[in-house]
Chain A
């Protein structure tokens, strides 16, 4: 019996390993995620079946040894003195079995956690089946076949009756059931990917990766619990237990657990009360009626004050458009309403979306206003030599041009049905218009006094392009904010303004000089003239006075000619020398007298007595 069970378990493990390989091949060939998504569950099943098979093998060896020991301990050998040795051998096999059983649980949880968490991580990185995926139907059929095989295996192993080692034999049944459920889900989603929902294959990978992750976390917790779990002799342990697997196999089991917990908390069976039973009976009709009501609510439409609606009947738009307010319509999928914010003013900023986060603070050219500012190419000015030459080389400049644009939807049908992303199209049209406008002008033609005209032209051009492309919008405003030279050269632009101020300052200083000097010169000239005039008057007056005096003196000298001169001389000498220092030399004229006067500083000429002896100054050497 043990040998047969051992074979079955090994066959199950082998089947799981073959399925693993086949699924890898199917995923690689088809490009679908569904075959890969079931791998963590099949790997867990393979580990469980392998360990259970090994345990069966060890149990069979222990049974064989026990039977041998019983034969050896029969009546013929009852008097043998070696009975103890035979018992020792039988107990060794039993101990090996017990050691295996003790070690198998943590080994299983460790391997299962690795397979489940590793598989979940791998699935999250696995690219979902996209446009290149193919063979949905074949893959779905193959995975469904796997589901059938694992389901049959689970039913078979789970049907084992109780007995020694039955828990071990049944243990793979749970994981076979989980693998079957995963395969069934993958097959259904793979089929849906072909027929209904292209993204179903990707969702199969996501959902099954989440389930594998949850099971992996539980396996890790159980691995940790194995260290501290009390082991009671004689009590048969649960083998490879998994609450997550049980929930997957029986989704309503959580409800039963909740019900049992409520009963335990209240001290009586709440689940047996009338109200509970009534609610349990009414739940399904209630939910069904709510779903029906929700469906009927799709007959009513409330449009906001800023909205207009397009009523579509089997996809065909009805006219006229619906205004804001309450409207009836036939339920989905017969009729549906497309909402369009037609009354609202929409704003976009050319070349600033989606990076357009404006920084606060003063808006300076030398400080980036946005995280990323786009440059538009502008024309540079040709130098006279370049303008005269035949080469058509045009210097280029760069400009930051943030043009906020406001528009309103005027034709909801065009806006909805001609372009899939009309706002995006308008953004591109506006960018084109700005790029053209910038490329055809010099920087200062844009940021100078022409800005108003340029924004008007831009508005007209964008409107013309929007109309010709059927956008169904009216451009209300094109602004001219944030138009400036690039930040790296902004300082150079500011320095020009500084230089202008410097120029004015220098001119003003010179004007100040002129304003000061000319009046001073005029005043000096005036003073000179006045001085000359005073000189003239004084000169004439003094001359007249001198003449009069002379005539008087002449008359006087005629009266006493012999003494006149002497008297006048002495009078004059008396007046002249009255204040002067006088030395009267009473010695012989031949005697030379040198007088040193130290009242004044002695100059260098003192030491040049020879050359300066005859050129003495008053106050120097005398």
Chain B
């Protein structure tokens, strides 16, 4: 039992020792082996199995050298035409010079802090030299995203490589926005635009309705007027036709008028009419004569 324990102990120790001597560099990794803290001439970038003296003689610093994406803060900046805009950029970076990176930065978190500071610096400079219309424009041909990204990336790439040993492989404008106070006003403007459009539609409705009504009324009046004119014409024809028959009345105009009077008398008196007649009017003059003669009612009216 003790022998087994000893074997196991020796095996574990050997494994530990081997793990301290050999190390693997994977594809997408870079390693820097320092000897008593002294930097080597070259970093290891090829994948494979490597050996070193165990700590504290040599120490292997292995870095993940794949592209890492960094988002900058969604930060407010100012354009040349004095407009506030909030911008978020992203950058893809990797360790370009592992030895310089180890000396100047040492860790990814510190690298991202330094890189973000650089990006923000160039972002503010480049955005300050472009108008708002270069970033937002109804004509896509006037947008200058590519130019702006290039203007940030080129100095950033050079400075990050020279100062931190970082290679910036890509950079893009991820998001554009407006400060909240401006957003409120944009909402108000959008609402006003919609309201104006809604009012226009309503006014168009009123206008169209009014036009249709007026047109209809005009047509109605036209139809009625034409009809009335035609009716009068027809009535005139009737009158003309009737007048042809009136020639016969010229044979005895007095009689004709007399007959018309009689006719009119009959037409105008109805059951609601009240007549107060003198006792001298025929035939009631008969009453007057009877009264004078016997009953005292009166004498008859003189004959007209």
Q: Chain A: residues with CB nearer than 8 A to chain B?
A: 131, 137, 194-196, 281, 284-285, 288, 312, 314-317, 333, 351, 374-382, 391-398, 416-421, 424-425, 428-429, 431-432, 435-436, 439-442, 445, 469, 485-486, 488-489, 492-493, 495-496, 498-500, 502-507, 509-511, 513-514, 517-518, 520-522, 524-526, 528-529, 531-533, 535-540, 542-544, 546-547, 550-551, 553-554, 557, 565-566, 568-570, 572-573, 575-577, 579-587, 589, 593, 595, 597, 618-619, 622
Contact = CB atoms under 8 A, between A and B. Distances in A.
Nearest to A545: B245
B283 A489 contact: no
In the A-B complex, the 10 residue pairs with the smallest Cβ-Cβ separation, listed nearest first, are A525-B227, A536-B238, A503-B205, A543-B242, A514-B216, A532-B231, A440-B140, A499-B198, A510-B209, A315-B26
5 contacts: A489-B194, A499-B197, A510-B212, A540-B245, A554-B255
A436 B55 contact: no
Tell me the interface secondary structure of chain A in the complex: helix
Contact of A535 (B183, B190, B234, B247): B234
Interface stretch (B33-41, B61-69, B120-128, B155-163): B61-69
Interface string B212-235: 110111011101101110111111
Contacts of A421: 68-69
B73 interface: no
Contacts of B219: 514, 517-518, 521
Nearest to A491: B191
A517 B238 contact: no
Given A420-B66, A584-B287, A506 B206 contact: yes
A577 B268 CA distance: 10
B6 interface: no
Given A495-B198, A499-B198, A536-B234, A572 B81 contact: no
Given A196-B19, A317-B47, A518-B223, 10 more contacts: A285-B4, A312-B27, A314-B48, A315-B49, A380-B189, A396-B136, A398-B186, A418-B66, A542-B242, A580-B270
Contact of B217 (A281, A517, A597): A517
Given A317-B27, A378-B136, A619 B223 contact: no
B286 to A, nearest CB: 10
Contact of B67 (A425, A492, A505): A425
Contact of B239 (A281, A521, A539): A539
A283 to B, nearest CB: 10
Interface in B61-103: 64, 66-69, 71, 81, 85, 90, 92
Most buried by A among B49, B200, B247: B49
Contacts of B169: 469
Contacts of B227: 524-526, 528-529
A436 B291 contact: no
B201 to A, nearest CB: 4
Contact of A425 (B69, B145, B230, B246): B69
Contacts of B215: 514
A569 B237 CA distance: 34
Interface in B1-27: 1, 4-5, 8, 19-20, 24-27
Contacts of B24: 314-315, 333
Interface size class of B (residues with CB under 8 A): 35 or more
B292 to A, nearest CB: 11
B20 A195 contact: yes
Contact of B133 (A394, A398, A428, A520): A394
Contact of A585 (B133, B172, B278): B278
B138 A499 contact: no
A520 B220 contact: yes
Given A420-B64, A439-B135, A440-B137, A580 B273 contact: yes
A424 B173 contact: no
Interface in B249-304: 249, 251-252, 255-256, 258-259, 262-263, 265-266, 268-280, 282-284, 287-288, 291, 297-298
Given A375-B177, A421-B68, A579-B271, A553 B220 contact: no
Nearest to B141: A440
A622 B27 contact: no
B190 A582 contact: no
B205 A502 contact: yes
Contacts of A529: 227, 230-231, 234
A526 to B, nearest CB: 7
A166 to B, nearest CB: 34
Contacts of A391: 81
Given A316-B47, A398-B183, A521-B223, A585 B277 contact: yes
A584 B291 CA distance: 13
A317 B47 CA distance: 8
Nearest to B231: A532
A8 to B, nearest CB: 36
B234 A498 contact: no
Contacts of A565: 258
B184 to A, nearest CB: 9
